[in-house]
Amino acid sequence: MTSGNGVAGLLLPDEVLVVDVGPRDGLQNEARPVSAAEKIALINGLARAGIRRIEATSFVSPKAVPQMADAAEVMAGIDRVAGVEYAVLVPNVRGLERALAAGAGIVNVVVVATETFNHRNVNMSVAESMAAFDTITREARTAGVPVSAVLGAAFVCPFEGSVPAEQVLGLVEQFAQTGITELTLADTIGAAHPAQVARLVTAIRERWPHLALGLHLHDTRGLGLANALAAVTAGVTRLEASVGGIGGCPFAPGATGNASTEDLVFMLEAMGVHTGISLEALIAVAQSVPAIVGHPVSSKMLAAGPPRPAPPAKTQT
C-alpha cells in the first residue's frame, strides 16, 4: 500500500488485479444464446487487452444453466495467453473433474452466506455447501490447481436482507480453516454500499491479514465503482467486473449487470492504480459486446470514451 502518489485523503494500492467475469457471470445473465466461437473471441480479446484473470466459463449442469453447456468447448478453443489466468466456476466435485480435464487454471467455488439463498441456489444448507467446498478444495489441491473461494451474497441477500457482519466473519473463519489463500466477497445482487464494503473488508483483514481479498462487483443500483473505491482503500487487491457491464440480476428485472470493466479500469488508472490493462484495447473489445448480447450495454466508457483534449478552440484568449 502507498499513499497513492501523494494523494491526500485516499489510501490507494499501487496495483489491483482486475478480473473480467463477463464470459461467465455476464453472459449467464443475458437472454440471448451466445455461441462458443463468440465466447472464445471475447475471451481472447480480453486476454490480449491485458486482463490478467478471466472467469471464462462455468462447469455447472447444462440442464441448470444451458448458457454454459459449451464450457469444455470454450476452454478447448481459447488461446492460452502467457501470464493470463483462466478461472472457471465449479459447483461440485463432478464440475471440478470436468474443469480439471478442460485445463482450468483456477477454480472458483461459491458458498452463499445465507441459508435461504444458498438453499435456493444448490439445495443444500450453508454447512453442507461448506463441507462440499472443503472436499472440492482438497481434490483441486491434489491436482495442483488453486481454488479461489467466493462468498455469495456477502453483503445483502435478496431473501434475508442485509447480512450481519458476524455471520460473514463466521463463514470466513470456516473458509480459512480449509487453508484457502484468497477469498472473493460477492455483492451478488448489487445492493452493498461503500461503508458496508469498507467495514467488512477491514474486519476480515484485521483477523486474516494474509488472505488475499477480492470484491465481485454488480452495478444494479449504480454503486459498483463507489464500492470498488471503498474496497481498494480498505485493502482489497482484486476486483471483478464485466466487459461492457453485461449481465443482469435475476432479482431486479431490467437492471444492469456487473460493473463495467472499462469504467473500472478508467477509474483505477486515472488514480494511478496500475492494472496492466490497455484501456484502448479493452474499449475495442467492449465495442463488440452489444452485437454479442443483442442490445446496447450500460458501459459509460463505451458511450463517452476517455477524456481527450478537444481540437484547438476557435477562440483563444
Q: Which of 34, 96, 156, 243 binds a second copy (CB under 8 A)?
A: 156
Q: Which of 152, 190, 214, 247 binds a second copy (CB under 8 A)?
A: 190
Calpha distance 161→239 (Å, rounded): 23
Amino acid code (one letter) for 61: S
Q: DSSP readout, 197-231?
A: HHHHHHHHHHH-TTSEEEEE-B-TTS-HHHHHHHH
Q: Which stretch binds a second copy (CB under 8 A): 26-34, 81-89, 98-106, 307-315?
A: 307-315
For residue 37 the three cell numbers come to: 466461437
Any contact of residue 52 with a second copy (CB under 8 A)? no
Taking alpha carbons only, the member of 273, 259, 248, 274 closest to residue 226 is: 259
Contact positions with a second copy (CB under 8 A) in 192-211: 193-196, 198-199, 201-203
Least distance (Å) from a second copy to the CB of residue 49? 18
CB 55 within 8 A of CB 275: no
Any contact of residue 123 with a second copy (CB under 8 A)? yes
Contact positions with a second copy (CB under 8 A) in 157-186: 158-161
Contact positions with a second copy (CB under 8 A) in 64-103: none
Taking alpha carbons only, the member of 200, 252, 256 closest to residue 223 is: 256
Least distance (Å) from a second copy to the CB of residue 211? 17
Any contact of residue 125 with a second copy (CB under 8 A)? yes
- CB-wise, 178 or 220, nearer to a second copy? 220
For a second copy (CB under 8 A), the number of binding residues is 72
Any contact of residue 271 with a second copy (CB under 8 A)? yes
Three-state SS letters, 173-203:
HHHHHCCCCEEEEECCCCCCCHHHHHHHHHH
Told to judge if 157 belongs to the known catalytic residues of this protein, a careful annotator would answer no
The H-or-E segment that residue 99 falls in is: helix 93-101
- CB-wise, 59 or 266, nearer to a second copy? 266
Q: Tell me the CB-side half-sphere exposure of residue 106, using CA atoms within 13 A.
A: 20
Contact positions with a second copy (CB under 8 A) in 227-266: 228-230, 233-234, 249, 251-252, 254-256, 260, 263, 266
Contact positions with a second copy (CB under 8 A) in 274-303: 299-301, 303
Rama region for 4: left / alpha / beta (φ>0; ψ in -120 to 50; rest): left
Q: Which stretch binds a second copy (CB under 8 A): 22-30, 42-50, 56-64, 309-317?
A: 309-317
Distance of alpha carbon 251 from its chain centroid, rounded?
18
Any contact of residue 316 with a second copy (CB under 8 A)? yes
Which residues are marked as active site? Answer: 249
